[in-house]
Chain A
């Protein structure tokens, strides 16, 4: 491939952008410079269409140690410890090659976490696929899960939670979002700004190859199409073993205070990592590509600069500490090579030995990137077809409940989470599906306190109403934390949307960000960072707008946390929080073949107050059971409590469809000794645990064993076909 003859359009740049590059350089770029620009100015690296919008999100808070702009957000969790976390997408690579796409999605988010000096302690995943009736979906789902497991299991970081939804709108364009949480002693935190003219630039980790060339521009910043198999070479290949050495090596380098700055190599490889370090540090960098260790000897300088080979980190080292750095890298069997140095030029200069091959002002690559205003326009009609009807509207309440439990969106994800190591690290107090949020000890060998983490987002509800749906995702995540008594410290999000140049997508994006903002403000939870994935469209249209929200919270005492399951015969069951169920946007409506055009409006302040009450109730320590009412409504939530606890229940609730299966944020089921339940402020007692049947007065009576078969059998059955 010769880049010299390739026009800028093939690299994804518009004519106006090309002119802008010439203007900033005062000349035409050479082929290497053009390649670097095309990546740095891609949507994926530059957030051209979302940056202005993201400024709406609240980013200030009392616990924040590092906010948006660093490799990951960091919050203070007390006792001298800091938690770093971030969610990122790897959607298009996973749609083209699910195993490596998903695996390197995990590898990439792990690097973001240890790049700030934190040890990764947990991974969560948010996945979206087409319906499981499709062979392509089963292939993508199966191999994406295997890829996530391959990387996380091999590197020894537990995958503790996540979510999966199956909707026709993701058939062409699946979503693979991975979130990582890390912990660091506060003094080990490090930023990525390059500093100290004359300091050495050291490349750590894997050799550089031709994998992932153009991943950020060709793959991540354009719509998917028929020829995507030909894009497989743009997908990177992961090596978790290399990264496990890199984690240990980097953390020990930081423990010994040997680094001036540290940055991971992700999208756009050396180009973006070096220019971002230089931009933040307001310095220049000289890079000699002839020193970069290669997998293939004949790589062109431009290929070396833009390769997205995995498991690499870039650090800045004072010359006096170089020998110690190289020695420690040798101990960990991590390749370390001086490839350049910090200069005062504010230029990124690329050399091939003695020969200059590129020279670009850092500002033009990072700060002075063209930003676009969205042109949002509310669509006049529905954007998405109604889903195919799978449930007769005349079905009995019992049949509807069983159909909902067997719907893959609600059914047990045991098939998925059993393929992940959820316990390595000895911190995991609540494993997947045992409680609403994963709970991780701050100190596995003693001490108190724990983190709770959750990741949530229901794209179908956002498709019905982008503002309300996005706000609901924030509430849902906070509610999951409240169910284990945790108070949110910060939020990360991944905005997965279609092509923002289309007015209706721009409208979805704008309204969703406004919903996120208002919900964050109402709850007092700041956004510490995140990621935007646009152009998620296939030939059949855009994905559902899918903002995914991840939250980290802290709880004081992990020894008496509620679980999802009912615990004991005779326990009283109550509904707490604020719950106003409606059928619009519900799973039941989906099964009946309808997609609503709106959702009921939210009173965010009232929901915030209700969440405080839920958290206080759980922190009382006398509730063995707490489970939020989510997809499938109250009847499904009760069924899940029965299945998880192996116990039946007899309850009395509104037996109309909306009462049984209506959805909406804010409801939490709790159960416990009668005295403990009666003591809860605002709790509505709805029944009692006992027997082997879930009985809802005037509506249904189904043995728990039957509920379990529907709930646990659905996803394995899809693979048994």
Chain B
């Protein structure tokens, strides 16, 4: 089993994500200018400010050569995890419903929050039980999830912020969603920054562990 972690110019958390993946399986970086996914079994689109994000967040990255291959990979059922900026990119690419808007506070927020597993039936949460609480940090300026009515069925809500932990004003406390087939997931919290109790928590490792169970 091998993870591929996308590296755009302006990515910030790609090495963190790479290290998190390597705790559970093989992993390599994928360069934004390539089209070849190098035969990876799962793709992680990491956090950061791809191409500077001076336009709408994620709007440029979505058009990179590599993302065209990632979109194809996802449409063929390959597992794709978008974290923070990666979530924004996947929404821009049309792989996930909804959009991420500026935080209610209009400020960047970096904070450890609790998120509740709402759907343990995805490739990303299969090691979790419904209702599990995971302690994972968020850090973003544009993380307020919004979807127009009727766009997001309840079973596509994978994670919710615990009561009182919604850091950005997301609709219905939504912290992470998946697509209709369940093979593409995006979340604002950073599971790659919660893989070791020494640096805060190991709860985020459950997502990578779940993905690593994907048959090679």
Q: Which A residues have a C-beta under 8 Å from some C-beta of B?
A: 146, 149, 153-156, 239-242, 244-245, 332-333, 417-429, 431, 441, 444-445, 558-559
Contacts and interface: CB of A to CB of B under 8 A. Distances in A.
B108 A428 contact: no
A559 B108 contact: no
Given A155-B12, A241-B9, A427-B199, A444 B110 contact: no
A431 B198 CA distance: 11
B107 to A, nearest CB: 5
Contacts of A419: 107-110
A343 B48 CA distance: 42
B139 A421 contact: yes
B111 A418 contact: yes
A431 B110 CA distance: 11
Interface in B162-201: 190, 192-193, 196, 198-200
A422 B12 CA distance: 12
A365 B54 CA distance: 39
Most buried by A among B110, B141, B193, B196: B110
B146 interface: no
A156 B52 contact: no
Interface string B25-67: 0000000000000000000000011011110000000000000
Q: Which of B13, B22, B192 has the most CB of A within 10 A?
A: B13
Contacts of B12: 153-156, 244, 421, 424
Interface centre among A244, A333, A426, A444, by most B CB within 10 Å?
A426
Contact of B199 (A240, A244, A418, A441): A441
Given A423-B200, A441-B198, A149 B49 contact: no
B13 A149 contact: no
A145 B149 CA distance: 37
Interface string B5-31: 000011111011001101000000000
A153 B193 contact: no
B61 to A, nearest CB: 12
Contacts of A423: 110, 137, 139, 190, 193, 199-200
Most buried by B among A242, A245, A425: A425
B27 to A, nearest CB: 11
Contacts of A333: 9
A145 to B, nearest CB: 9
Nearest to A156: B12
B29 to A, nearest CB: 12
B10 A425 contact: no
Contacts of A241: 9-10, 49, 51-54
A156 B111 CA distance: 16
B9 A244 contact: yes
B110 A559 contact: no
A332 B9 contact: yes
Contacts of A422: 110
Contact of B107 (A146, A244, A421, A429): A146
A155 B199 CA distance: 21
A428 B201 CA distance: 12
B108 A244 contact: no
A252 to B, nearest CB: 13
Interface of B: 9-13, 15-16, 19-20, 22, 48-49, 51-54, 107-111, 137, 139, 141, 190, 192-193, 196, 198-200
A645 to B, nearest CB: 16
Given A240-B49, A242-B52, A424-B139, 9 more contacts: A153-B108, A154-B12, A244-B49, A423-B110, A426-B193, A426-B196, A428-B200, A429-B198, A444-B199
A420 B49 contact: no
Given A153-B139, A240-B49, A444 B19 contact: yes
Contacts of A421: 12, 108, 110, 139
Given A239-B52, A245-B9, A423-B137, A428 B110 contact: no
Given A241-B51, A419-B107, A445 B19 contact: yes
A153 B192 CA distance: 16
13 contacts: A153-B12, A154-B10, A154-B49, A156-B13, A156-B48, A241-B49, A244-B10, A332-B9, A421-B110, A423-B137, A423-B199, A426-B16, A559-B198
A418 B198 contact: no
A74 B170 CA distance: 44
Contact of A418 (B16, B52, B110): B110
For the complex of A and B, the 4 pairs showing the least CB-CB separation, nearest first, are A241-B52, A156-B12, A426-B16, A154-B49
Most chain B beta-carbon neighbours within 10 Å: one of A146, A244, A333, A441: A244
A550 B27 CA distance: 37
Contacts of B20: 426
A156 B16 CA distance: 11
B109 A424 contact: no
A423 B190 CA distance: 10
Nearest to B14: A156
A484 B157 CA distance: 41
Contacts of B110: 417-423
Contacts of B137: 423
A333 B107 CA distance: 30
Contacts of B139: 153, 421, 423-424
Contacts of A425: 15-16
A720 B200 CA distance: 31
Contacts of B51: 241
A493 B53 CA distance: 35
A441 B195 CA distance: 14
Contacts of B109: 418-419
A706 B200 CA distance: 27
Given A146-B107, A429-B199, A445-B19, A424 B13 contact: yes
A239 B53 CA distance: 11
A530 to B, nearest CB: 29
